[in-house]
Chains A and B, each alone.
Chain A
């Protein structure tokens, strides 16, 4: 856990060589990390494939922005409200959708999310501001803030008791929150509650025959993951106070499924890996243009450089979707456990090779190895 926290908090340093050490993408990494961790609680543990989690993300964002508009620019009430609000939505949606399982459950959640999306676009425009998206205005009431101070010049920015929540400080705040919710999910995974959820995934009928009513467990898992999504939505709004309906579209739900599967379903770290891969592709790969490629291949002779640029330009820039698709196909076909499984395989290979090498060099090191291993356990 401590190592995990350090790795997350030092992201601005070790992301440098990948060209991804700027606040916005780092914020996206951790915020969508929260989203994926929550999604994994439902999908990874119970195996229920929800296609509607983007709705909670959207609800969270809208709630947070309204809190900024009506109450205060402090992000604490905004985030609490967005978690509560998305929790309420999740109860309603889960109550209906969990009456069915398998593909019917997926379709019900998809329908519910699309309904939210279309409502946000049409009937609910006074609340959501439709296509333009909900934004802050100078004339917003902000009741709590007005109790303490006069409205300043220009738009106020979101704060956490005086610390601005954009830029790097926004990343650190989100990262701390992500570490906390990761810890909670770790606890859930290792609890008896988590075990029951895994049992539901393994065989729900057998659970019922044993006398368990599975419904409450499923509903709590659904609501918890919905609240995680709402928290992610609230954080998105906290780092950039704007909410648009496109956050609720089914493609956003699909994205979190992709993240989870790509990284490794049901594992703790897998979804986070998936988030980093997809967001990296979306933001960095999509911006690579031919000029960058030319400078990358500049060491090769001109004809080779040009043909290399021609080939690889298919996969970057606008073609980033294709690269991602190929990667996804590869993972699904060869590594059902996601990228995490791949990393574990590589790790094992290296480890066995090391042990083999040690064995061949003599018994002396062999015994050391063993004592070392004992210590480790």
Chain B
């Protein structure tokens, strides 16, 4: 009897619970999207509207603000070109291309912007605003791998594609890769693979390296990749020191280098951090020193023209790698430099290049898929081979959403002809030399439906 009663109350309670839950869900349903409920309708479907909105989430303040400003210029240019304004830029050289200059799938492209503040929290809040309020169908942006990874995992939850801008950490397409995240930029592992042989040729096989590393995912993986490469050549790693991002003053980290017995300093820094640490290292006389009978050398594995501009004369002769440089002579690079220069009056940076290319690649993938439905667009991007966007023939690898293309080893130009001619391409390392097995970093892409 009591059992039965118990059972009854149990059932009653369950019914109340389910009814309550169903009620709450039903009440909220018209307004919020749940990634489990869409079959063919998907969040922010632009099919019924005349325009399609893209979100550009970039750092407008903090250590990477310069890069962010240049990225935004590139995005605006890409939107112009997609809408058939301007000279069309890379749309003329991209092969294959289905872009017609009438927006994406016939819809005019508009955009909204946000400030990531180079903080994961702020970036996600800003991305949420774009998705929930401005109804973007794709968002893009970058300059910090930590922020990119945070946004990418949010992209997966929300079911909105994220086209990463500048992010160089191995984790972005390695252990933290996501089905909804794509990266055109190269990564630390590729930098190491490209830089290694050049370092061996220039500085020999008996060196002692001292690392100063930005203390977050990008710094960690770059330190690891460069360390692996150099140690394989026979170099010693004297010490690795982590420095906070945006430290401003690096003198307390550079002083110990002087007496460490190291003869190479590797700066795993980027943006304003790299400008400050390099300038201070030069001021401390590191480059004029002789250690172990060899000239002291500084290496900056990830280089950009914007940083070179900030560091001035200090970068002369310093080796590093870069994704793209405006002095490249191929058709695509030339077309991009020309149309960027016409609008803004100076050449674009590598950050601008990668963001511009990402936007066009997304638009083209929608055209090829014939829909904005994310799983189809993702399939159109996976394994896509294209050319004519600078860097030669490129492939979006399906296994980890990483682009594979040639990598540039560069050197700070000793005799610059203009204020922009700061990097001299030492070697264009072919794609085959930097390719690696997708499984070495682990991670899982996850499902097609967020």
Residues of A near any B CB (own CB < 8 A): 12, 19, 22-25, 28, 121-122, 125, 130-133, 135-136, 138, 153-155, 157, 161-164, 166-169, 172, 240, 242, 244, 246-247, 283, 286-287, 289, 318
Contacts and interface: CB of A to CB of B under 8 A. Distances in A.
Nearest to B61: A318
Interface string B84-115: 00000000000000000000000000001111
B121 interface: yes
Contacts of B215: 121-122, 125, 130-131
Which 9 A-B pairs have CB atoms at the shortest separation, nearest pair first? A131-B216, A167-B32, A24-B128, A22-B132, A22-B133, A168-B32, A132-B146, A154-B446, A168-B28
Interface stretch (B150-158, B290-298, B321-329, B377-385): B150-158
Contacts of B126: 283, 287
Contacts of B149: 132, 135
B261 interface: no
Nearest to A162: B21
A125 B146 CA distance: 14
Given A24-B132, A169-B24, A287-B114, A155 B157 contact: yes
B334 interface: no
B33 interface: yes
Interface string B104-147: 00000000111100011110111011001100000000000110
B446 A153 contact: yes
B153 A155 contact: yes
Contact of A287 (B119, B129, B245): B129
A169 B28 contact: yes
Contacts of B132: 22-24, 167
A12 B133 CA distance: 12
Interface string B427-450: 000000000000000001011001
B133 A19 contact: yes
A24 B153 contact: no
A104 to B, nearest CB: 28
B31 interface: yes
Interface of B: 17, 21, 24-25, 28, 31-34, 60-61, 112-115, 119-122, 124-126, 128-129, 132-133, 145-146, 149-150, 153-154, 156-157, 176, 215-217, 242, 244-245, 444, 446-447, 450
A154 B176 CA distance: 12
A246 B33 CA distance: 29
Contact of A153 (B25, B112, B124, B447): B447
A318 B60 contact: yes
A153 B115 CA distance: 32
A289 B447 CA distance: 36
A163 B32 CA distance: 12
A121 B215 CA distance: 8
A237 to B, nearest CB: 11
B124 A166 contact: no
A135 B153 contact: yes
Given A155-B446, A318-B61, A283 B146 contact: no
B245 A163 contact: no
27 contacts: A22-B133, A23-B31, A24-B129, A28-B125, A121-B244, A122-B244, A130-B216, A131-B216, A131-B245, A132-B120, A135-B176, A138-B444, A153-B446, A153-B447, A154-B156, A154-B446, A154-B447, A167-B28, A168-B32, A169-B25, A169-B28, A172-B24, A240-B128, A244-B119, A287-B129, A318-B60, A318-B61
B406 to A, nearest CB: 29
Contact of A157 (B114, B125, B157): B157
Contacts of A132: 120, 145-146, 149-150, 216-217
Contacts of B133: 19, 22, 25
A34 to B, nearest CB: 17
A244 B244 CA distance: 14
Nearest to B445: A154
Given A132-B145, A246-B122, A287-B129, 19 more contacts: A12-B31, A22-B128, A22-B129, A121-B215, A122-B215, A130-B216, A131-B215, A131-B217, A133-B120, A133-B146, A153-B447, A157-B157, A166-B157, A169-B24, A240-B154, A242-B124, A246-B121, A247-B121, A287-B114
